[in-house]
Amino acid sequence: MKHTLKVAIIVLILVVISAILFVTGKRHDILIENNSMAGIKYSINGEPYKTLDAGKKALGISKGIGNVIFIKTADNKVIEKELPSKDINLFINQAINNSDDWYKENVK
């Protein structure tokens, strides 16, 4: 009986650890659409900035929860947005203007 209880506890601990690793390690695709009139630079989670010209798109990747994108406009203003933990389309113009619809969830 004690042996069975020990095995059950170990299995439960492994299941909990697996669930935590699944949530924190899941990859999320971020399609960044620069629908503004000027080029911008962006950084996901403090990585080096990448340039995105007006009218262009780029694919960014985040993992887990608690991700942030930094958008640097042509006048060097930096906008910081917390990214949702899901696959999204991110619209630069709406993010710069602090609109509520700055992203749309991608349903697979």
> Are 42 and 60 within 8 A, CB to CB?
yes
Q: Which residues of the chain register pLDDT less than 70? A: 23-25, 108
Q: How many CB atoms lie within 10 A of CB 65?
A: 13
pTM score, whole prediction: 0.76
- So what's the pLDDT on residue 85? 84
Going through 20-94 in order, the beta strands assigned E by DSSP cover 27-33, 40-44, 50-52, 57-63, 67-72, 78-83, 88-91
pLDDT of residue 65: 81
* φ and ψ of 82, to 5 deg: -75, 130
Angle at 19 between CA 17 and CA 23, to 5 degrees: 120
Q: Which helix (H) or strand (E) segment is 105 a member of?
A: strand 103-105
Q: What angle do CA 86, 38, 72 make, to 5 degrees?
A: 55
pLDDT at 16: 93
